[in-house]
Amino acid sequence: MALGRLTWWPCHRCSAQLPPSLKIASHPLGISKVKYRSTTGVVVAKMTLSTALVQILLPMLLWVVSAINGTDGGGIGVNYGTRGTTLPPPGDVARFLARETLVDRVRLLDADPAVLQAFAGTGLAVDVTVPNAVVPRLVNMSFARRWVRENVAPYARATNISRVLVGNEVTTEANRTLLLAIVPAMRNLHTALVAMSLHGRIKVSTTHSLGVLTTTEHPSSGRFRDGYDTAILRPLLHFLRATGAPFMVNAYPFYGLTNDTLDFALFRVSDAGVVDKGSGLVYTNMLDAQLDAVHSAIRRMGFGDVDIAVSETGWPSAGEDWEVGVGADHAREYNTNAIRHLGSGVGTPLMPNRTFEVSIFSLFDENLKPGPVSERNFGLFHGDMTPVYDAGIFADPAAIVEQPVSAKATPAPAGQLGARQWCVATPGADEMMLQENIDFACGQEGIDCAAIRPGGVCYEPDTVQGHAAYAMNLYFQSNGRHTIDCDFGQTGLVTTADPSKILVLKLFLHSTQACQMKISM
């Protein structure tokens, strides 16, 4: 198989592959067309889950428990769209992702308060998005501050918001006002985050379709479209480098597919592969070729050190008769291989020995989306949360074989959990965050916090720390003692040491800790 000329489909919003009568010449690299993706909905991705930490005043014990719990160094995400009629509540989705899967990042295509609140305390990284229509208004600094104050700040303590994405595929929009606003908007949002001391953990970026690249013959000769390179992408890349944010790309081998290149797209090609005559490098899959074309364009601008993240990729499990490669088996094969390959550390021919953050599109099939049948069938799950197929994202694959996936995780029986466990707050945890933990835990269905209300048996001592210790542990115990249910935005810690027997804690928490003991089994 040889590399021919890459032809870009001029309409970046075209919904999918064209019928045979309208099809254009396609290239083995699979970047001759750019996918359609709506600007409403929600997206999920997987990033690093922090070790759960919660209240204990003995530093050595804190260190030991942290070491036992460990950390997760993933990088898997999935797009969580909401354009369906039978989708489960966001709270059920958040619990399922946190407890039952390897997903550690959720990308939202808006900043829906209900969804942000649902992911509070899960530890999952959440990317929120400014809708394209709002981007031009962010050129006004006052509006940017207000947007952050209303859409990010209220949720940032309890929910692990890690990025604000300015629009979706803005750089391939045929809208001059929007194009010229993208970089100033990103700068203003960053400035607003700095003013609220949130810039250390919340980065600002934006997503790009492959339509941002121009026609090229080889991945090594990839370059940005004329007119976009110096006016928009150079200052954008400068901003990403300065702030440590990644260049995020939506890469879909499916949309550049022909019958001849199906094996190349599905990672089936042997080491002989496809040769890039410009560099002499060999490609064994289409996704690597697409990412290296993006990297070449970035490096050509002098920003080769800027990281690349795959903000979207996926494959439909059903489609029209004329759509090449659709089907659950192919979807499983592509997504499983993409996740495994990008997380393996092998890298790509031009970017060896590195892992990539990857977000699968999408979490659910969405029956309200327009376009061909494939657009409604990119999901890993049906709307009732039964799996379309297993792409290797389950924490316990054996638990889902031939079984529907429950919309709400069932707590494991206490007898199966081994040693007794408690959820306590980390030493020095911010009181405002602890109060938010109380409000969150006590606001959940089935959680009764009457004991820490005035007159309750555990009301004394009347301290935020004492009440938080009760509420956080009650939530942890009631939900089956999953480690993630004691994260609380990294203010909680699971311990097997009896808190009531630790002198410092006993003196500090007094009777509230004794109340905790009653709900530790």
Is residue 292 a contact partner of residue 222, using CB atoms and an 8 Å limit? Answer: yes
Asked if residue 341 lies in contact with residue 285, where contact means CB atoms within 8 angstroms, the answer is yes
pLDDT tens profile 327-352? 999 999 999 999 999 999 999 999 99
Handedness of CA 27, 33, 34, 37 (dihedral sign): negative
Reported as a pLDDT band with limits 50, 70 and 90, residue 399 is low
Q: Which residues contact 188 (CB under 8 A, 6 or more apart)?
A: 138, 139, 140, 141, 144
Distance between CA atoms of residues 101 and 89, nearest Å: 17
What amino acid positions are annotated as catalytic residues?
169, 312
Q: Per-domain residue ranges for the chain?
A: 71-381, 422-503
Three-state SS at 356: coil
Bridge partners (DSSP) of residue 347 are: 352
Closest by CA position to 323, among listed 390, 236, 256, 264: 256
The structure's pTM equals 0.70
Give tens-digit pLDDT for 46-78.
333 333 333 333 233 322 333 333 333 348 998
The architecture in CATH of the region 71-381 reads: Alpha-Beta Barrel (3.20)
Distance of CA 181 to the CA centre of its chain: 25
Q: How far is CA 253 from the centre of its chain?
A: 20
Q: What is the band of 398 on the pLDDT scale with cuts at 50, 70, 90?
A: low
Location of structure tokens 């990281």: 307
Model confidence at 183, in pLDDT bands (50, 70, 90)? Answer: very high
For residues 409-421, average pLDDT: 45
357, 346, 272, 350: which is closest to 310 by C-alpha? 357
